[in-house]
Amino acid sequence: MAERRIVESLVKERSAWPHEHVSLVLLVIDGVGDVRHPDFGMRTPLEAAQTPNLDELAPRSALGRVMPVDYGITPGSGPAHLGLFGYDPREVEIGRGVLEALGLDMDLKTGDVAARANFCTISGGLVVDRRAGRPATQVSAEKCKLLQQELGRIEDVEVIVQPGKGHRFAVLFRGPGLAEGVSDTDPHENGQPLHEAISLRPEAEKTARIVGEFQRRAEEVLSGHEPLNGILMRGIAERPSLPGMQERFGLRAATIATYPMYRGLAKLAGMELLQTGPRVADEFRCYAESKDDYDYHYIHVKATDEAAEDGDFDRKVSAIEEVDRHLPIIVEKMPDALAITGDHSTPCCMKLHSWHPVPLLLHSPRCDAGGQRRFTEHECSEGSLGIFLAMHLMSLLMANAGLLDKFGA
């Protein structure tokens, strides 16, 4: 807390900024970090990739590695991004229901409560299949439509049902007096009855009642729709209320991301969402075109993580090379401070997120360039920034752009 409070207290008035248009850029190459493994020739995708533009930038930049949450902790995308946005992910929590709703591009407002939900098959009072025979997405979407029509309002609470993939969907409750702290109705195994939605704290009593009523009436609506004749809910959570980029750092912040979850996370941090085409080049051009309208751009590239989660080393290399190819679109606009990193590592040999610190390149005219030759895991380990918690990166970006006053006299 201490360091962040200090940084927030040192943010300069806009009138004292070094120039009128300041541009900070956080380029997140999802899951970019990797490890050397014998199955992949003991080199990482960053080491294997041809990256002439990063190679040109690295010797003039400060390198280091950021640890998303803490030593040995493998983060989900939520905590990983919170860290990069300058929050302490060990303190700020985003519930599963909220993350699911963000991932389905739902518009969450303060006070909203969201749940992850499944269609399930109920027989003789028991959940006999928690996934309702794994229906096609289209089949589930029709049932979601039906639930939305019949159960759009309970008491004074608006209910929004959003289909997901297969048997999955999300439910959002919007109305006065809602709060998280309600137990799952999901029994978490087949052959059990549904659980009752119980309030785990006094503030959540109304929410538990509404959730329970939705659960009960959904079964009535779905009666006869076997195998999708029931629902179950879990991860019932409130949209966290975070101080945003403007409030904390005085920055007009914008997001360039194609996937709903990342757009949703950025929105939680008080960023505006920009319209972008699907390719890396589109995203980078979106930055170039909107540079002067914002002080901070978060740009998210997804393909690296997808390749790594498939264990596809060559595709991860290609995804890195695509980023490198278009990097001049950003660099030529000369942002005042540019950070290139990932939200976490995703080693191809693991096909999973991991705890390994993520390579970081920080470029500004006063970045403390260390002369390392390439933006790779191990050159970054030897860089001038060392290994540090992701939550500190925001302070470094602000400092490099000249936006922080001196601390003390």
Which residue carries 């950003």 as its tokens? 330
Beta carbon of residue 284, minimum distance to its own copies (angstroms, whole number): 25
Asked whether the beta carbons of 51 and 321 are under 8 A apart, the reply is yes
Task: Give whichever of 152 and 386 is closer to its own copies, judged by the CB atom.
Answer: 386
- Determine which residue in the list 29, 65, 129, 227 makes contact with its own copies, applying CB under 8 A: 65
- Residue found under tokens 């498939």: 310
Structure tokens given for 250: 């005085």
Only segment of 62-70, 159-167, 247-255, 326-334 that touches its own copies (CB under 8 A): 62-70
The answer to the question of residue 76 lying near its own copies (CB under 8 A) is yes
Contact between 61 and its own copies by CB under 8 A: the answer reads no
Question: Judged by CB under 8 A, does residue 202 bind its own copies?
Answer: no
Residue from 13, 15, 19, 71 in contact with its own copies (CB under 8 A): 71
Task: Determine the interface stretch with its own copies among 93-101, 209-217, 241-249, 308-316 (rule: CB under 8 A).
Answer: 93-101
What minimum distance in Å lies between the beta carbon of 232 and its own copies?
18
Residues 313-352 that bind its own copies (CB under 8 A): 347, 349-350, 352
Name the residue with tokens 């709703």. Answer: 101
Q: What is the DSSP letter of 274?
A: P
Distance CA 229, CA 218 (A): 8
Tell me the pairing of strands 62-67 and 387-389. Answer: parallel
CA pair distance 202, 180, nearest whole angstrom: 10
Q: Kindly indicate which of the ranges 50-58, 67-75, 141-149, 296-304 contains the residues binding its own copies, using the contact rule CB under 8 A.
A: 67-75
Our finding on whether 281 is near its own copies (CB under 8 A) is no
Least distance between its own copies and beta carbon 344 (Å) = 10
Task: Give the separation between CA 58 and CA 383, rounded to whole angstroms.
Answer: 10
CB of 122 to its own copies, least distance (A): 27
Report d(CA 406, CA 7) in Å as an integer.
10
Specify the amino acid at residue 80. Answer: A
Q: Is 377 in the site for its own copies (CB under 8 A)?
A: yes
Among the listed residues 41, 152, 243, 386, the single contact to its own copies using CB under 8 A: 386
Token digits of residue 43: 């080199």
Closest CA to 361 of 32, 88, 107: 32
Q: What sections of 234-386 are H helices per DSSP?
A: 245-249, 260-268, 280-290, 303-309, 313-331, 377-381
Residues within the interface to its own copies (CB under 8 A): 2-3, 6-7, 10, 35-37, 42, 65, 69-79, 89-91, 93-94, 96, 99-100, 347, 349-350, 352-357, 365-371, 377-378, 381-388, 392, 395-400, 404-409
